[in-house]
Amino acid sequence: MWAGNAWRAALFGVPRGCRAQSALAQLRGILEGELEGIRGAGTWKSERVITSRQGPHIHVDGVSGGILNFCANNYLGLSSHPKVIQAGLQALEEFGAGLSSVRFICGTQSIHKNLEAKIARFHQREDAILYPSCFDANAGLFEALLTPEDAVLSDELNHASIIDGIRLCKAHKYRYCHLDMADLEAKLQEAQKHRLRLVATDGAFSMDGDIAPLQEICCLASRYGALVFVDECHATGFLGPTGRGTDELLGVMDQVTIINSTLGKALGGASGGYTTGPEPLVSLLRQRARPYLFSNSLPPAVVGCASKALDLLMESNTIVQSMAAKTQRFRSKMEAAGFTVSGASHPICPVMLGDARLASRMADDMLKRGIFVIGFSYPVVPKGKARIRVQISAVHSEEDIDRCVEAFVEVGRLHGALP
C-alpha cells in the first residue's frame, strides 16, 4: 500500500484528495469572481419571499403590512380564484399528487387528454400537446420539426426559450431586426432555397410590451411560402376580444400555423405549457420532442386548475374587457407624470430608467412604500435599457393603480428620475 501511494505521489505530485480540494478551491474562486462582477455591475437579482397566496394584495417576508403586487403575470387574477383552487383540490383528490411517469409510459390520464382537447378548441386548432412549461414547448418544437434542409427566421428580441429552442435544431438560422418587416422580407428572399421556412416570433414581447405585426408577418409568409409560429405566453387569455391572443387581436387566427403558450400566467398561473396546431405536427411532437418524452406529466392539480381557468375564460369575456381600461389608466397617468413607458396598450408597462442601479434602488424604495415591483437589467434586457416592469392585472382596482403611480412619482423624485 505504501509503495502504491508513494508511486502515485511521485507521478502526480499530490495525493488524489488534495487535487480534488484544489480543484474545488479553484472553482470557488472563479464563481466568487463572477458573482462579485454581477454585484459590482448593479445587476444582482435578489428573491423576495412571499408569505401569502398570489394576488394583487400579498404579504412579503420582512415587510410589515400588506403589499400591492404589480409584477406578477397573473393577468386575469385567476391564480387564487376560488373556483380554480377548488378544481385543483378536486383533481388532487381524484387523480393523486402526480404520475411518477412520462406520458408515453403510464403518465397520461383522462384529464390530460381533456385539457389538450380544450386548448385546441380554445385556439381553434386541430390538436394540442402539454409540456411541463412553455420553455419546454419551445425547446421541443424546433428540433423535432426542422431539419438541415429547412430554415427558421427569428425576431432578434424573441424570448430566451425561443432562442434556445432554435439553437437545438439543425435548420439554417436567420435573425431579423426587431419588428422590421423589410429585414424579414430580405431574409425570406434569402431563405427561398430551403425546404421549409418558419417565421418565429413572440406575439407580445415580455420586456417591452410591444406586439408583433402579425398581419404583415402573415402576408410576407404567404408571399414567400413560409409557415408562422407565435409564442403567446404574454397574450393568451387577455389579448383579443375573447382572449385568444395576438392572432385574434390582429385577425389572423387562420394564418398562424403553430402556437406555443403557457398555463403559468393568465391561465391559473401554476405551471405548464403547450403547443397547438396541425394534428400531424402534434403527433410528431409526441414521438420526437425530447422535453415531452423525458419529463414527467403535469401534476393533476395543475391540470385541474388550468382546465377551470379556461372554462371561466370561455364562459365570459368580462375579465378580458376590464384589462384595457386599467392598462390605459396606468400608462396615461405615468406618462403625464413624466415617465417613459415602453410598448403600447399592453398590461406589461415597462417604466424605462436606463441605469441598472437606479432601477434596483427605486424598486427597493417602492417596496418600502407598499408596492411590489422589480427592476430588470442586463442580461435580462440589453445594457443601458434597465427598467421597472409593471404588470397590470384585471383584479387591480383603480385605487390600486393610482396608489402605484403616486409611489412612482415620490420615488422617482427622490432618485432624480423625475424633476
pLDDT (tens digit, 9 = 90+) per residue, 56-82? Answer: 999 999 888 899 999 999 999 999 999
- Is 202 in the same domain as 305? yes
User: Is there a domain that residue 26 lies in?
Assistant: no
Query: What's the CA gap between 285 and 108, in Å, rounded?
Result: 15
Q: For residue range 379-390, what is the model confidence (pLDDT) as tens digits?
A: 888 889 999 999
Q: Which of 206, 261, 271, 307 is catalytic?
A: 206
234 classed as catalytic: yes
Query: What's the CA gap between 393 and 347, in Å, rounded?
Result: 7
Q: Which of 234, 326, 333, 346 is catalytic?
A: 234
- Is 301 in the same domain as 239? yes
Q: Which of 123, 159, 194, 265 is catalytic?
A: 265
User: Does residue 17 surpass a pLDDT of 70?
Assistant: no
Beta-carbon contacts of residue 295 (< 8 Å; ≥ 6 apart): 102, 131, 132, 136
Helix (H) or strand (E) holding 38: helix 16-40
- Given this model, what pLDDT does residue 292 score? 98
- Is 118 in the same domain as 235? yes
* Spatial contact of 146 and 170, defined as CB atoms under 8 Å apart: yes
User: Is there a domain that residue 27 lies in?
Assistant: no
- Is 311 in the same domain as 365? no
The residues facing 60 across adjacent strands are 50
- Is 299 in the same domain as 309? yes
Strands 273-277 and 127-131: antiparallel
pLDDT band at 1 (very low <50, low <70, confident <90, very high): very low
- Is 223 in the same domain as 267? yes
Q: How many domains does the chain have?
A: 2
User: Is there a domain that residue 392 lies in?
Assistant: yes
User: Is there a domain that residue 204 lies in?
Assistant: yes
Q: Which of 261, 293, 315 is the last residue of a domain?
A: 315
- Is 262 in the same domain as 229? yes
DSSP assigned state of 191: G
User: Does residue 41 surpass a pLDDT of 90?
Assistant: no
Q: What is the CATH number of the domain that holds 260?
A: 3.40.640.10
- Is 308 in the same domain as 328? no
Q: For residue range 222-243, what is the model confidence (pLDDT) as tens digits?
A: 999 999 999 999 999 999 999 9
Beta-carbon contacts of residue 22 (< 8 Å; ≥ 6 apart): 14
The residues facing 121 across adjacent strands are none
- Is 307 in the same domain as 333? no
Q: What is the CATH number of the domain that holds 324?
A: 3.90.1150.10
- Is 193 in the same domain as 258? yes
- Is 309 in the same domain as 322? no
133 classed as catalytic: no
- Is 262 in the same domain as 390? no
22 classed as catalytic: no
The residue range of the domain holding 344 is 44-73+317-415
Q: Which amino acid is at 99?
A: L
